[in-house]
Every structure is written in C-alpha cells, then in structure tokens.
Amino acid sequence: MLPITKSVAKEILPLVDKPIIQYAVEEAVACGIELVIIVTTQGKTAIEDYFDKNIGLEHVLQQRGKIDLVEKIRHLPDMADFCFVRQKNRWD
C-alpha cells in the first residue's frame, strides 16, 4: 500500500465511500456496542480526528449548501463513546 500509507493511516483509507475503520465501528454499534476503544500508535492522530467533531468543516459545508455531508460527518462522533489509547512502542 506504499507510498500512500507513508502519510495516511491504513485504517482510514477509503473503501467505496468511507474509511475502512468506519465499517467496523458501524458494525459494532449495530450489535449494541456503546463504547469503542481504538488503539493507536504514533502518527495515527487522523483516526482520532476522524471520529471527533469538526465545527469548522461543518460550517464550511453548510455555507456551500452541502447539508447531506454535514449530517454524515455530524453523525460520526455520536455513533458511540470513543476512547483512544496509544500503544507503547514495544522497543522502549
């Protein structure tokens, strides 16, 4: 998957119309999971950002009349409670 994975976490690479990790989260939530714990490593803050609110992006999309996209991104952090844990480097 190089060279794209040098700058983009594999978990957020798109599969059809959304990141791969979103499919797993949606499936877990559909099964009743309310707390999603995602283990990350250095350089994977984009995963945390993806499931967080982004008021600035929502505002820009609203100004451009893309209300359907606003609803899609507004839904992400409300799917479940998210907890992100950074895995220690095993060589430390």
C-alpha to C-alpha distance for 69 and 90, rounded to whole angstroms: 39
- Domain of residue 58 covers 4-86
**19-60 residue pLDDT tens:** 999 999 999 999 999 999 999 888 788 999 999 999 999 999
DSSP state of 85: E
19 has which bridge partners? 14
Let me know if residue 92 belongs to a domain: no
pTM, two decimals, is 0.82
Let me know if residue 9 belongs to a domain: yes
User: What pLDDT is attached to residue 92?
Assistant: 54
Let me know if residue 21 belongs to a domain: yes
- The separation between CA 77 and the C-alpha centre of its own chain, rounded to angstroms, equals 9
How many domains is the chain built from?
1
Let me know if residue 45 belongs to a domain: yes
Percentage of the chain modeled with pLDDT above 70: 97
